[in-house]
């Protein structure tokens, strides 16, 4: 789980995999490097997980892409849950909480004591914990007259009056919702203090205290204690911490699609070097301009309408989505080109959503790589072993999916972990760029301490699975963090 805590003073980079939200009082000087462990909710590749992956993406897209309101006495733009979760500590005395991590979210919230319809059990092998404001000696409520309520959470409604709690209500596109009020309390992180070394780091942040839930959020058997996002809004942890001069608005993740686990970092990554492209401005999600799709070395011929052009193609980069979703015209052109390489193969449907086939050879020899070309000379390549899932002996299914709509009703390009795994992805929100490079995510990266100029090595991690973890969740994903603060939640 990635959480971002803006714990920046005196120029130390904080490497975090957790996000914080709201009014914060940073009790640490410098831009500190913080490390977090992250775990993937789903695992392995096989028939048992295909439906889970598609169902997860469908629920997520209903939340992430809907034109829903984030109400704090005003309006906001909520986004949905992620595939990854991490553990962080909150309050005094501190308690551990497991929260979902999402690069497309802006708010951080956790389930609170006496919450209505909040989940109490999880199949993820974790004990769910509810935050109790009264049980923490450092916890404080946020009321309407406080600057953080209006400035950070846009609570400008006449209904938000002096002395009343600063409330929120997030309604997602799939009909689920979470509502409650904002509080602030201490959060505890692992600060990077040397090569593969950490020390304790404490900060104070504002976050949502969920007092009621509905829909999938309240009934999911794969529940966690909350959500933490990595978005750009003022309410996000990384934005808050950066505004306070605690951290730079930069973070990176490296998802190990081979061994599981990986790296999640906040701050300046020194090694490896990463090529970047500009983010499309004024978008709710991290979006880049897509030029072409190549199959092998051939540019895919995607039919365009009178109102479409190559320059109009935009692609959302989202680590919370598992598969890759393409507009119908692009999907059909891609599938036709791929299957033309093996004309003798006959496909069949599995779980109603996946095209599958029987093949006994080496898929990397029999099928071409698929490369997405972006502006700025940036590309993302998926090799056959990336986009083909082996569900049983000699039976393979194709991970490309057709059609996902944005909030304007148009089909979009949505690029998830099928493309992002085994790559270091760097988000530089100060320069408004995003970049990536092929990388061994089970290894390590180097991050810079801005105050001292020292460069530290941060290695990959993996949260161990609990003994009662469902087998189809066994693919434990980890993310260790590097040089910046953990990111925000919605």
Catalytic residues: 102, 318
Task: Tell me whether strands 444-448 and 269-271 are parallel, antiparallel or unpaired.
Answer: antiparallel
Q: How many whole angstroms from its chain centre is CA 169?
A: 21
- Are 99 and 212 in contact by the 8 Å Cβ rule? The answer is no
Cβ atoms of 363 and 382 within 8 Å: the answer is no
Classify 333 as helix, strand or coil. helix
Rg of the chain, C-alpha, whole Å: 22
Query: What residue has token string 């959302």?
Result: 316
Q: Are 165 and 146 in contact (CB under 8 A)?
A: no
Closest CA to 35 of 465, 358, 463, 399: 463
Phi, psi dihedral angles at 87 (to 5 degrees): -115, 135
Between CA 335 and CA 324 the distance in angstroms is: 13
262 with 249: CB under 8 angstroms?
no
d(CA 218, CA 468): 21
Cβ neighbours of residue 308 closer than 8 Å, sequence gap 6 or more: none
Whether residue 486 contacts residue 237, with contact meaning beta carbons closer than 8 Å, is answered with yes
d(CA 422, CA 436): 10
CB of 375 closer than 8 Å to CB of 288: yes
Positive or negative: CA dihedral 288, 293, 297, 303: negative
**Is there a contact between 158 and 74 (Cβ–Cβ < 8 Å)?**
no
Helix ranges (DSSP H) in 379-472: 384-387, 417-420
Secondary structure element (H or E) that encloses residue 239, with its range: helix 237-243
- Looking only at the bridges linking them, the beta strands covering 388-392 and 395-398 are antiparallel
Question: Which residues, at least 6 apart from 355, have a Cβ–Cβ distance to it below 8 Å?
Answer: 335, 347, 348, 349, 397, 398
- With 0-12 / 13-18 / 19 or more C-beta atoms within 10 angstroms meaning exposed / middle / buried, residue 349 is exposed
């Amino acid at each position: 789980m990635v959480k971002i805590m803006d714990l920046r003073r005196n120029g130390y980079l904080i490497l975090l995999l957790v996000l914080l939200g709201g009014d914060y009082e940073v009790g640490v000087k410098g831009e500190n490097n913080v490390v977090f462990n992250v775990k993937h909710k789903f695992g392995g590749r096989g028939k048992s997980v295909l439906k889970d992956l598609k169902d997860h993406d469908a629920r997520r897209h209903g939340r992430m892409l809907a034109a829903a309101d984030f109400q704090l006495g005003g309006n906001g733009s909520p986004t949905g849950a992620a595939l990854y979760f991490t553990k962080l500590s909150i309050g005094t005395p501190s308690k551990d909480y497991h929260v979902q991590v999402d690069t497309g979210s802006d708010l951080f919230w956790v389930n609170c004591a006496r919450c209505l319809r909040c989940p109490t059990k999880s199949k993820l092998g974790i004990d769910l914990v509810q935050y109790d404001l009264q049980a923490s000696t450092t916890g404080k409520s946020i009321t309407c007259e406080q600057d953080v309520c209006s400035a950070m959470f846009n609570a400008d409604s006449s209904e938000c009056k002096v002395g009343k709690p600063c409330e929120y209500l997030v309604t997602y596109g799939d009909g689920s919702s979470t509502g409650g009020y904002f509080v602030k309390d201490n959060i505890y992180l692992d600060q990077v203090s040397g090569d593969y070394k950490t020390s304790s780091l404490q900060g104070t942040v504002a976050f949502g205290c969920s007092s009621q839930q509905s829909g999938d959020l309240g009934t999911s058997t794969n529940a966690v204690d909350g959500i933490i996002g990595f978005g750009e809004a003022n309410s996000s942890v990384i934005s808050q911490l950066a505004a306070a001069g605690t951290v730079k608005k930069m973070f990176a993740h490296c998802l190990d699609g081979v061994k599981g686990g990986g790296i999640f970092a906040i701050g300046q990554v020194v090694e490896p070097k990463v090529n970047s492209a500009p983010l499309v401005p004024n978008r709710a999600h991290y979006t880049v301009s897509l030029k072409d799709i190549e199959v092998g070395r051939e540019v895919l011929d995607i039919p365009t309408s009178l109102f479409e052009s190559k320059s109009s193609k935009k692609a959302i980069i989202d680590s919370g989505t598992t598969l890759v979703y393409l507009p119908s015209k692009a999907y059909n052109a891609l599938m036709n080109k791929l299957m033309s390489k093996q004309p003798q193969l006959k496909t069949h449907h599995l779980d109603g959503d996946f095209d599958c086939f029987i093949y006994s050879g080496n898929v990397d020899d029999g099928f071409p790589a698929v490369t997405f070309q972006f502006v700025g000379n940036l590309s993302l390549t998926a090799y056959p072993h990336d986009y083909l899932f082996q569900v049983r002996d000699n039976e393979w299914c194709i991970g490309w999916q057709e059609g996902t709509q944005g909030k304007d009703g148009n089909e979009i390009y949505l690029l998830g972990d099928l493309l992002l795994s085994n790559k270091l992805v760097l988000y530089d929100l100060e320069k408004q760029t995003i970049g990536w490079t092929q990388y061994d995510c089970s290894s390590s990266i180097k991050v810079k301490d801005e105050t001292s100029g020292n460069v530290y090595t941060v290695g990959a991690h993996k949260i161990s699975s609990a003994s009662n973890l469902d087998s189809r969740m066994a693919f434990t994903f980890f993310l260790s963090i590097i040089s910046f603060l953990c990111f925000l939640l919605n």
